[in-house]
Amino acid sequence: MKPADFRKLILAGAALSIGLMSLSAHAGGEGGNIPFPADFRGWNHTKSIVEPDKENPFHGFRNIYVNDTGIEAMKNGTAYPDGSLIVMSFHEPVLTEGAYAQGKPIKYVLMLKDASATASDGWTYEAYAAGAMKPLVGDKVVEKCHDCHTARRENDFVFSTYVK
């Protein structure tokens, strides 16, 4: 290998490293109850839902993803094993030519099965505002999230179901 080619290879590697660090920093989500998983879009996509009403707290074009640990439980409607992680990404719903599409990101909502979270029946929750990736739930897990999820006790506190 020529010295000039070797320098180009080194520079390309450095640029790739800087790019990956930048991506990780953007993924952010530090300081929340659940670290933000930057790779969730490569997980199992279980369904999409559109709520166009801006007054609805679930407003947005949302996609629901589950990691490999939880996919079988979601498919079968059974109890989730520890480590199951569900992510909902919310985007502005954009109506174009009579159909809704995803616009800019609004927020991300996460549910993690964690047996040590006894106050919330084995689940912990977090939400992140898009852009700044600021945690929104903090120590209000029961009040902001789990109180509503108790309505789905028979489905291990999960509202979402797998669309076949």
CA distance 88 to 50: 12
Tell me the pLDDT band of 140, cut-offs 50, 70 and 90: confident
**pLDDT above 90: residue 19:** no
101-121 per-position pLDDT tens digit: 999 999 999 999 999 999 999
Tell me the pLDDT band of 30, cut-offs 50, 70 and 90: low
CA distance 29 to 93: 23
CA distance 85 to 50: 21
Assigned token pair, 106: 């609004």
pLDDT at 154: 94
Sheet order of strands, 134-135 included: 44-51, 60-66, 85-96, 99-113, 123-129, 134-135
> Average pLDDT, whole number, for the chain?
83
